[in-house]
Amino acid sequence: MTKDNKTPSTPPKSPATVTPAAAAPRKKLTLNTTAFQKKLSSISVNNILDEEPDYEKMPSLAKTKRNREKQNKKFKPNLTSSQKIVREVVIPVKISIQELASRMSEKTGDVVKALMKSGVMATANQYIDGDTAELIVTEFGHTPKREEAISLKDEIANYQKSTNSDIKARPPIVTVMGHVDHGKTSLLDALRNTNVTAGESGGITQHIGAYQIQHKNNPITFLDTPGHAAFSNIRSRGANLTDVVVLVVAANDSVKPQTIEAISHAKAAKVPIILAINKMDLPDVDPNIVRNDLLSHEVVVESYSGDVLETEISAVKKTNLDKLLDNILLQIEILDLNVEHNKLAEAIVVESKIETGKGSVATVIIKNGTLKEGDHFTCGSAFGRVRALLDEEGKRVKTAPPGMPVEVLGFDSVPLAGDIMYVMPSEESAKDITEKVKEQKKLENTASVKKSSLEEMMANVSKGEAKKLPIIVKADVQGSLEAIVASLEKVGNDEVKINVIHNAIGAINESDVSLANSAQGIVIGFNIRAIPQARTIAKRDKVDIRYYSIIYELLDDMKKMLSGLLTPDTKEEIIGHAEVRDTFSSSKLGTIAGCFVTNGFVSNSAKIRLVRQGKIIHEGEVGSLKRFKDDVREVRENYECGISFKDYSDILVKDEIEFYITKEVKKEL
**Edge-to-edge strand list for the sheet holding 143-146:** 17-19, 86-91, 143-146
Number of residues that make up the chain: 669
Q: Is 281 in the site for ligand GDP (CB under 6 A)?
A: yes
Comparing CB distances to ligand GDP, the nearer of 183 and 384 is 183
Distance CA 161, CA 159 (A): 6
Residue among 87, 94, 107, 184 that touches ligand GDP (CB under 6 A): 184
**Residue among 644, 657, 578, 653 nearest 617 (CA):** 657
Q: How far is CA 435 from CA 52, 327, 379, in A?
A: 20, 44, 11
* Distance of closest approach, residue 180 Cβ to ligand GDP, in angstroms: 5
Q: Is 669 in the site for ligand GDP (CB under 6 A)?
A: no
Most distant CA atoms of the chain, gap in Å: 93
Stretch that binds ligand GDP, among 219-227, 274-282, 446-454, 474-482 (CB under 6 A): 274-282
Distance CA 477, CA 480 (A): 6
8-state DSSP, 508: B
Binding residues with ligand GDP: total (CB under 6 A)? 15
Torsion of CA 491, 492, 498, 500, to 10 degrees: 30
| 463-522: contacts with ligand GDP (CB under 6 A) | none
Distance CA 594, CA 599 (A): 16
**Residue among 141, 46, 143 nearest 91 (CA):** 143
Q: Which does 143 bind (CB under 5 to 8 A by kind): Mg ion, ligand GDP, none?
A: none
Q: How far is the first Cα of the chain from the last one, in angstroms, to the nearest whole number?
A: 38
Residue among 92, 183, 521, 576 that touches ligand GDP (CB under 6 A): 183
Confirm if 417 and 351 have CB atoms less than 8 A apart. yes
Coil, strand or helix: which one is 379?
A: strand
Q: Which does 649 bind (CB under 5 to 8 A by kind): Mg ion, ligand GDP, none?
A: none
Comparing CB distances to ligand GDP, the nearer of 278 and 517 is 278
Stretch that binds Mg ion, among 2-10, 183-191, 535-543, 563-571 (CB under 5 A): 183-191
Residue among 33, 162, 185, 288 that touches Mg ion (CB under 5 A): 185
Distance CA 608, CA 591 (A): 15
Exposure b/e, 11-47, CB count within 10 A at least 16 = b: eeeebbbbbeeeeeeeeebeeeeeebeebbeebeeeb
Distance CA 618, CA 657 (A): 10
Q: Is 181 in the site for ligand GDP (CB under 6 A)?
A: yes
Comparing CB distances to ligand GDP, the nearer of 157 and 196 is 196
Distance CA 99, CA 92 (A): 11
Strand residue runs (E) in 272-380:
273-278, 310-312, 338-340, 346-355, 359-368, 371-372, 376-379
| 437-456: contacts with ligand GDP (CB under 6 A) | none
* Distance of closest approach, residue 266 Cβ to ligand GDP, in angstroms: 16
Residue 226 CB partners (closer than 8 Å, separation 6+): 209
* Distance of closest approach, residue 246 Cβ to Mg ion, in angstroms: 13
Q: Which does 282 bind (CB under 5 to 8 A by kind): Mg ion, ligand GDP, none?
A: ligand GDP
Distance CA 572, CA 370 (A): 52
For ligand GDP, what does the binding mask look like between residues 154 and 173, x meaning CB under 6 A?
Answer: --------------------
Chain position whose Cβ is nearest to Mg ion: 185
Q: Is 226 in the site for Mg ion (CB under 5 A)?
A: no
Q: Is 185 in the site for ligand GDP (CB under 6 A)?
A: yes
Residue among 7, 10, 123, 186 that touches ligand GDP (CB under 6 A): 186
Instruction: Count CB neighbours of 477 within 10 A.
Output: 13
**Residue among 267, 268, 282, 364 nearest 316 (CA):** 282
Distance CA 579, CA 599 (A): 10
* Distance of closest approach, residue 513 Cβ to ligand GDP, in angstroms: 22
8-state DSSP, 343: S
Stretch that binds ligand GDP, among 152-160, 184-192, 445-453, 536-544 (CB under 6 A): 184-192
Q: Which does 181 bind (CB under 5 to 8 A by kind): Mg ion, ligand GDP, none?
A: ligand GDP
Comparing CB distances to Mg ion, the nearer of 225 and 381 is 225
Residue among 87, 103, 182, 341 that touches ligand GDP (CB under 6 A): 182
* Distance of closest approach, residue 184 Cβ to ligand GDP, in angstroms: 3
| 300-319: contacts with ligand GDP (CB under 6 A) | 314-316
Binding residues with Mg ion: total (CB under 5 A)? 2
Confirm if 277 and 287 have CB atoms less than 8 A apart. yes
Q: How far is CA 482 from CA 457, 474, 522, 526, 565, in A?
A: 24, 10, 18, 12, 26
Comparing CB distances to ligand GDP, the nearer of 288 and 662 is 288
* Distance of closest approach, residue 332 Cβ to Mg ion, in angstroms: 24
Comparing CB distances to ligand GDP, the nearer of 179 and 343 is 179
**Residue among 217, 192, 37, 63 nearest 125 (CA):** 63
Q: What angle do CA 370, 372, 376 make, to 5 degrees?
A: 105
Q: Which does 314 bind (CB under 5 to 8 A by kind): ligand GDP, Mg ion, none?
A: ligand GDP
Q: Is 41 in the site for Mg ion (CB under 5 A)?
A: no
Comparing CB distances to ligand GDP, the nearer of 315 and 404 is 315
Q: Which does 315 bind (CB under 5 to 8 A by kind): ligand GDP, Mg ion, none?
A: ligand GDP
Rg (CA), the chain: 30
For ligand GDP, what does the binding mask look like between residues 124 and 153, x meaning CB under 6 A?
Answer: ------------------------------
* Distance of closest approach, residue 296 Cβ to ligand GDP, in angstroms: 22
Amino acid sitting at position 622: V
Q: Which does 546 bind (CB under 5 to 8 A by kind): Mg ion, ligand GDP, none?
A: none
Distance CA 505, CA 449 (A): 33
Q: Which does 96 bind (CB under 5 to 8 A by kind): Mg ion, ligand GDP, none?
A: none
* Distance of closest approach, residue 268 Cβ to ligand GDP, in angstroms: 21
Stretch that binds Mg ion, among 81-89, 128-136, 178-186, 503-511 (CB under 5 A): 178-186
Distance CA 347, CA 534 (A): 29
8-state DSSP, 397: E
Q: Which does 623 bind (CB under 5 to 8 A by kind): Mg ion, ligand GDP, none?
A: none
Q: Is 192 in the site for ligand GDP (CB under 6 A)?
A: no
Residue among 279, 291, 529, 535 that touches ligand GDP (CB under 6 A): 279
- The β-bridge partners of 330 are none
The residues that touch Mg ion, with contacts defined as CB under 5 A, are: 184-185
Binding stretches for ligand GDP (CB under 6 A): 178, 180-186, 278-279, 281-282, 314-316
